[in-house]
Structure 1
Amino acid sequence: MSDPIKPIILPPPTDPQQEGEWLQKALHTWLDQEFIPEPINQTIAQRAAQIFVRQRMEGENDLGCLVIAIVTEMQSFDFSQSFYGEFAIANAVSDLLLDSLGYERCCGG
């Protein structure tokens, strides 16, 4: 029987606003580089960062729970002017956070 995947727990936030600003910039850059730069990318990055900051300020440090919160809350966002959807955004946030923590995304190590 295989072992369950261990959760990835982010360090407690020291400055959630600064984390949010970093995430917004990093996600906006990623969105613009992944396809073509679009004005909606800034709005998407702002919304995802707002969700992330609020979750962190409420004490959520589990990366999986943060990803689910972003997927759930971004479902109400109008993606009609974008190539992206809520799952792509949540996965990008996860990848950016894993990169910033030094995790190897392909293998989880």
Structure 2
Amino acid sequence: MTEPIPPITLPPPKNPELEGEWLRQRLHRWLDEEFLPEIINQKIAERAAQIFVRQRMEGENDLGSLVIAIVTEMQSFDFSKSFYGEFAIANAVSDLLLDSLGIDRCCGQ
């Protein structure tokens, strides 16, 4: 029988605004490097970071719940000028956070 994947819990935020700024910068860089640097990438990164900060300030520390919140709230964002969509953004945020925690995200480990 397969074992469920244990949840990943972020440490409680000490400075959610600083975390959000870090995420905004890293996500913006990732967006620019993944495809083309575009003006819309800055707006995408800002919106995702706003969602992240608000969730963290409301006490959300579960990575899975944070990803779902980003997917849900980014659905109202206009991605028509972008290569990306809400799922790509939420997955990128998850990867960036896992990397920052030193968690290997390769091969289901």
For the aligned pair, the TM-score class normalised by the smaller chain equals: over 0.9
Query: In the alignment, what sits opposite 1:9?
Result: 9
TM-superposed CA distance for 1:108, in Å, is 4.6
CA distance, structure 1, for counterparts of residue 6 and residue 62 of structure 2: 10
Deviation sequence 1:79-105 (CA, Å, 0-9, x none):
000000000000000000000000101
Q: Which residue identity lines up with residue 65 of structure 1 in the other structure?
A: S
CA distance, structure 2, for counterparts of residue 49 and residue 107 of structure 1: 27
- Figure out how many residues of one structure are paired with residues of the other and give that number: 109
Q: TM-score with structure 2 length normalisation?
A: 0.98
Q: Which residue identity lines up with residue 6 of structure 1 in the other structure?
A: P
Structural mapping, 1:1-109, within 5 Å = 1-109=1-109
RMSD: 0.7
CA distance, structure 2, for counterparts of residue 28 and residue 17 of structure 1: 16
Deviation sequence 1:58-95 (CA, Å, 0-9, x none):
00000000000000000000000000000000000000
TM-superposed CA distance for 1:107, in Å, is 3.7
**Structure 2: 5+ residue stretches without partners:** none
TM-superposed CA distance for 1:21, in Å, is 0.2
- State the secondary structure of the residue aligned to 1:59: coil
- State the secondary structure of the residue aligned to 2:106: coil
Q: Give me the identity figure in percent.
A: 80
TM-superposed CA distance for 1:44, in Å, is 0.2
**Structure 1: 5+ residue stretches without partners:** none
Runs of 4+ in 1 over 4 A off after TM superposition: none
